[in-house]
Amino acid sequence: MSEQTKQQYEFKAEMKQLLHLIINSLYTNPEVFLRELISNSSDALNKIRFRQLKGEDIHSPDIPLRIKLELDEEKKTFTIEDTGVGMTEQELVERLGTIASSGTLEFIRDMKENKGKLDGNMIGQFGVGFYSAFMVTDEITVETRHFDASQPAVKWISDGKGTFSIEESDREERGTRISFTLKDDYKDFATRYRVESVIRKYSNFVDYPILIGDEEINKKGALWHKQKSDITDEELKEFYKFVSNDFNDPLDHLHLAMEGRMNFKALLFVPSKRKPNFFQNEEFKSVQLYSNRVFVQEDCEELLPEYLRFMEGLVDSEDLPLNVSREVTQYSPIMNKIREVITGKVLSMIEYWAESEQDKFKAFLKEFGPLFKSGLNSDFTNRDRLINLLRFQTSKSTDDELVSLKDYVGRMPDFQKEIYFLSGDSLTELRNDPRLEYFKKKDVEVILLHEPVDSFVVPGLMNFEEKELKSIEKSDINLGEDDAAPEDSLQGEALDKLLAVFRETIGDRVEDIVASKRLVDSAATLTVGKEGMDSHMERMMKMMNQDMPVSKRLFEINPSHPLIKNLAALTEAGQTDRVKLFAEQLYDGALLMQGHLESPAAFVNRMTSFMKVASDTATKSTPKKKKK
């Protein structure tokens, strides 16, 4: 800090917005500031304990690891002090002056757009915990000394409105002290009773003593080392909230204590609700790694496969050396083994829900289904188990009924040899799709895939119980038996002539034009040849890769539909030009149904002229009212 003793800094613009947001919308949960500050202290203590255990040289090595609160009701002051890693001057500027994660920026934008309210739930997840203290005070002082003895102690002061200052401090001990005077409305945070009850609620499991004055108030201890039977439901819920920053109760939990060839304990939770922006966040926060009760890593990706990253909690291994680095955890065979075991246990829990706790299973699928299903494309070891956990809506199910592939196959009629599906954007749209008509008539069930992930997962399954999974858009589906066309349907030469006119018109745009065996109420549709891709899948691929050409379809017309019969009659009467117009319109209509129509203008223009003709005819045939 050379000559100047005090330096002014300006917060980044987003920071001001964030502070504004916090102060104005966190008032329903002011106590979160306490949880956030304690959690920061606990993080800082974890980091120093870790260095200590590795035998590193640190400043004030002998002071006890603890968090100490000082409250003064008279002066309305609040102070929290820890003996953690502390911060250097540069770290202070960086960490308390800027927003660390890009997720935070997105979050601010979201909040502004939706005029949403912050709740305590969101704060911790976005790495903005420290600022929540500006809820309860107008000015914060942070004094800190880094564990590197050569770094000077520094003092940071800010009113949280736009600027902060940094100056030298005479702090001797390693660690961080944060102090402020409470606003009048929040002066109860200077009373012991209030503070103690908040700590019991959120910070009971902090692994370091928390003192108010000289008295230790938290019961510390590693819950996961207790016997299952000694842990109450209340403790589990409390612990979940502590590790996850979630305010809701978990959906379920898993407590593992493995002994023998592998030694580890795990306390893992499935949240009942996903966090805001869960699917947008590409970096899921994973579970924590401990080694013999000592915290090692915040977010240990190697402990779970990506598709189970909704899990919260921790794994405590007795076999890992303390000085594991990221590189070591990444390639360690122990970690692989742990991941394998945990994955199996999580799947067993989900299988149990599917069997005996339908409500939980449904709630789970609703929150995390898409991520979970993506496991089919990555976890080949557990592929069969994952396939058995797939659930769908079908042409015969209600919207909230869940049908498994096993159920589906179990009720297939004898003549049905394949498993049929249709994919699209929504259930309602799918239920009304003309391509279902034939299957309804034959009383054959069709799986309706309406979640984007389904289209990436299901076609890749290929087979289930030796039955091929097939999109009903495929042209080579034949449910046999009574497929003979109704007697009065178009056939022979008249049909051939009509097909020829269609070929002349749109023949270069499709693979071929054929008389459909499976349309019932609709006049025409597009289907996919043997090699082609399901149209929904194709549309999604196209969204990702604009240059991808759309594959050619088979255009099927319904020879028993009155319109098609009329067109045959018009062809017979030499009105081919008119028939061509109809062909164009039918083709565009079929494209539209499948989301592939690129120029709606021509379609609408044609429709308008058809309507004009239809209305002309209608007007002529309606007897005119006599004028009075």
Positions in the binding site for ligand ADP (CB under 6 A): 36, 40-41, 44, 82, 84-87, 95-96, 127-130, 176
* DSSP string for 399-449: TT--B-HHHHHHT--TT--SEEEEE-S-HHHHHT-GGGHHHHHTT---EEE
Closest separation in Å from C-beta 331 to ligand ADP: 27
Closest separation in Å from C-beta 206 to ligand ADP: 13
Query: Kind and range of the H or E element at 563?
Result: helix 562-572
Which entry of Mg ion, ligand ADP, none binds 434, CB below 5 to 8 A by partner kind? none
Q: Cα 63 to chain center, whole Å? A: 43
Which entry of Mg ion, ligand ADP, none binds 176, CB below 5 to 8 A by partner kind? ligand ADP
Which entry of Mg ion, ligand ADP, none binds 206, CB below 5 to 8 A by partner kind? none
Closest separation in Å from C-beta 318 to Mg ion: 28
Closest separation in Å from C-beta 69 to ligand ADP: 13
Closest separation in Å from C-beta 103 to ligand ADP: 11
Which entry of ligand ADP, Mg ion, none binds 84, CB below 5 to 8 A by partner kind? ligand ADP
Whole-number Å distance between alpha carbons of 570 and 578: 8
Nearer to ligand ADP, 86 or 559 (CB): 86
Please give the C-alpha separations between residue 153 and each of 172, 184, 252, 335, 426, in angstroms, as whole numbers. 7, 31, 45, 39, 60
Closest separation in Å from C-beta 40 to Mg ion: 4
Within 8 A by CB and 6+ apart from 369, the residues are: 451, 453
Nearer to ligand ADP, 61 or 600 (CB): 61
Where b means 16+ CB within 10 Å and e means fewer, 413-452 reads eeebebbbbbbbeeeeebbebbbbbbbeebebbbbbbbbe
Neighbours of 609 (CB within 10 A): 12
Query: Kind and range of the H or E element at 524?
Result: strand 524-528
Which entry of ligand ADP, Mg ion, none binds 423, CB below 5 to 8 A by partner kind? none
288 DSSP β-pair partners: 314
Give the amino acid at 415. F
Residue 438 · residue 449 · CB < 8 Å = no
User: Taking CB under 5 A as the rule, does residue 571 contact Mg ion?
Assistant: no
Which entry of ligand ADP, Mg ion, none binds 44, CB below 5 to 8 A by partner kind? ligand ADP
Closest separation in Å from C-beta 147 to ligand ADP: 10
Nearer to ligand ADP, 85 or 371 (CB): 85
Closest separation in Å from C-beta 12 to ligand ADP: 14
Which entry of ligand ADP, Mg ion, none binds 82, CB below 5 to 8 A by partner kind? ligand ADP
User: Taking CB under 5 A as the rule, does residue 120 contact Mg ion?
Assistant: no
Six-digit token string for 33: 């500031």
User: Taking CB under 5 A as the rule, does residue 40 contact Mg ion?
Assistant: yes
User: Taking CB under 5 A as the rule, does residue 30 contact Mg ion?
Assistant: no
177 DSSP β-pair partners: 81, 143
User: Taking CB under 5 A as the rule, does residue 129 contact Mg ion?
Assistant: yes
Number of residues counted as binding Mg ion (CB under 5 A): 2
Whole-number Å distance between alpha carbons of 579 and 501: 8
Residue nearest to Mg ion (CB): 129
Whole-number Å distance between alpha carbons of 405 and 464: 8
Nearer to Mg ion, 41 or 343 (CB): 41
Residues interacting with Mg ion, by CB under 5 A? Answer: 40, 129
